Structure 1
Amino acid sequence: MKNRLLALLFLTASLSSCHDFLNLKPEYQISDQSFYQNQNDFETALVGVYSTTRGLYTTSNLLYMSELTTDNAEIQWSSPSADEMQLDQNAVTPTNAYVLAVWRTCLYTISQSNNILNRIDAVNFDQTTKNRIKGEAQFLRASSYFYLVRLFGNVPITNQTFSSPAQVSSADLTLKPQAEVYTQIVADLTSAESLLPATLNTDKTRTSQMTVKTLLGKVYLTQKSYDLAATKLKEVIDAKQYSLMADYKTLSTNGNTNLAETILEVDFLSGQSLGNNYSAVFTPSITSMAIFPGNAQGSGRIVPTLDLIRSYEAGDARKVISVNDSITLIGGKKSYSRYGLKFVDFKAVDPGDGSVSFTILRYADVLLMYAEALNEGGKTTDALLYLNQVRQRAKLAALSGLSQADLRLALERERRVEFLYEGQRWFDLVRTGRAQTVLNAHYASQKLSFSVQDFELFFPIPQTEIDLNPALKQNIGY
Structure 2
Amino acid sequence: MNLYRYIQKKKGITFLIFFAVMLVSCKKQLEYVTYGTFSETFPGNAAEANAAVSYSYTAMVQKTVWSLDWNYTRAQDLAATDEMDCNWGWDRFRSLNFDPDFTLVTQNYTFFVAFISQITLYIDKIEKLNMADADLKAQYIGELKGLRGYYANFLYSHFGPVPIRVNPEEINNPDAPVLARPTDEEMVNQIVSDLTDAIAVLPDNFTGSDYGRFSKAAALTCRMKLYMQLKRWNDAIIDGETIKTLGFQLISNYNDNFGPQAKGGNTEIIFPIVCTPTASYNANMWFAYVMPGDYQNPDGVAITAWNGFRMPWNTYRKFDTVNDQRTLRLLRYYPANSRGNGTWVWRDALTGDTATSLSGGTVTPAGTLYGNATMVNRGAFGAPSSYRGAVPMKFAIDESGANSQNMNMDFVIYRYADVLLLLAEAYNNTDQTGKAIPLIDEIRNRAGLANTSAISKVDVQAAIENERLFELYLEGTRRDDLIRWGKFTQRAVDDKYNLINPNWSSGSIGANKYLLYPIPRSVISQSNGVITQNPGYE
State if a TM-score over 0.5 links the two structures. Answer: yes
Tell me the alpha carbon deviations over residues 329-362 of structure 1, each in whole angstroms, 9 at most, x when there is no partner. 2431222332111136455575542322100001
Q: Distance in 2 between matches of 1:220 and 1:9?
A: 40
Amino acid at match of 1:229: A
State the match for 1:74 in structure 2: 85
Instruction: Provide the TM-score with structure 1 as the length reference.
Output: 0.86
Larger % of strand: which?
2
Following superposition of structure 1 onto structure 2, how do residues 102-117 of structure 1 map, counting pairs within 5 Å?
Answer: 102-117=108-123
Q: Please say which of residues 461-470 and 265-274 is displaced more in the overlay.
A: 461-470
Gaps of 5+ in 2: 20-36, 350-389, 505-509
Residues 401, 87 of structure 1: CA spacing in aligned structure 2 closer, same or farther, 3 A cutoff? closer
Amino acid at match of 2:297: I
User: Is 2:536 the partner of 1:477?
Assistant: yes
State the match for 2:449 in structure 1: 396
Q: Please say which of residues 35-44 and 375-384 is displaced more in the overlay.
A: 35-44
State the match for 2:363 in structure 1: none
Deviation of residue 52 (structure 1)? 2.6
Q: Give the alignment partner of residue 342 of structure 1, picking from 388, 391, 394.
A: 394
User: Is 2:272 the partner of 1:265?
Assistant: yes
> Is the CA contact 1:380–1:403 (under 8 Å) kept in the aligned structure 2?
yes
State the match for 2:514 in structure 1: 456
Deviation of residue 294 (structure 1)? 7.4
Q: Distance in 2 between matches of 1:261 and 1:156?
A: 35
User: Is 2:110 the partner of 1:57?
Assistant: no
> Is the CA contact 2:44–2:125 (under 8 Å) kept in the aligned structure 1?
no
User: Is 2:407 the partner of 1:354?
Assistant: yes
> Is the CA contact 2:206–2:212 (under 8 Å) kept in the aligned structure 1?
no
> Is the CA contact 2:289–2:308 (under 8 Å) kept in the aligned structure 1?
yes
Residues 180, 476 of structure 1: CA spacing in aligned structure 2 closer, same or farther, 3 A cutoff? same
Following superposition of structure 1 onto structure 2, how do residues 200-239 of structure 1 map, counting pairs within 5 Å?
Answer: 201-202=207-208, 203-239=210-246
Following superposition of structure 1 onto structure 2, how do residues 22-61 of structure 1 map, counting pairs within 5 Å?
Answer: 22-24=12-14, 34-55=41-62, 56-60=64-68, 61=72
> Is the CA contact 2:7–2:15 (under 8 Å) kept in the aligned structure 1?
no
Deviation of residue 236 (structure 1)? 0.8
State the match for 1:321 in structure 2: 329
Pairwise CA RMSD: 3.0
Following superposition of structure 1 onto structure 2, how do residues 60-459 of structure 1 map, counting pairs within 5 Å?
Answer: 60=68, 61-77=72-88, 80=89, 84-125=90-131, 126-161=133-168, 167-198=173-204, 201-202=207-208, 203-239=210-246, 241-257=247-263, 258-274=265-281, 275-284=283-292, 286=293, 288-291=294-297, 297-313=304-320, 314-330=322-338, 331-337=343-349, 338-343=390-395, 345-347=397-399, 352-441=405-494, 443-444=495-496, 453-459=511-517
Residues 107, 35 of structure 1: CA spacing in aligned structure 2 closer, same or farther, 3 A cutoff? same
Q: Distance in 2 between matches of 1:213 and 1:11?
A: 34
Residues 171, 160 of structure 1: CA spacing in aligned structure 2 closer, same or farther, 3 A cutoff? farther
Q: Distance in 2 between matches of 1:24 and 1:101?
A: 15
State the match for 2:352 in structure 1: none
> Is the CA contact 1:12–1:112 (under 8 Å) kept in the aligned structure 2?
no
Q: Distance in 2 between matches of 1:70 and 1:336?
A: 24
Tell me the alpha carbon deviations over residues 229-275 of structure 1, each in whole angstroms, 9 at most, x when there is no partner. 10111011122x21111111111123522122110000111123131
Q: Distance in 2 between matches of 1:157 and 1:371?
A: 33
Percent of pairs with identical residues: 23
Residues 263, 474 of structure 1: CA spacing in aligned structure 2 closer, same or farther, 3 A cutoff? same
SS of the residue aligned with 1:359? strand
Q: Distance in 2 between matches of 1:85 and 1:34?
A: 47
Gaps of 5+ in 1: 1-7, 15-19
Q: Please say which of residues 87-96 and 148-157 is displaced more in the overlay.
A: 87-96
Q: Distance in 2 between matches of 1:197 and 1:156?
A: 30
Instruction: Provide the TM-score with structure 2 as the length reference.
Output: 0.77
Q: Please say which of residues 413-422 and 330-339 is displaced more in the overlay.
A: 330-339
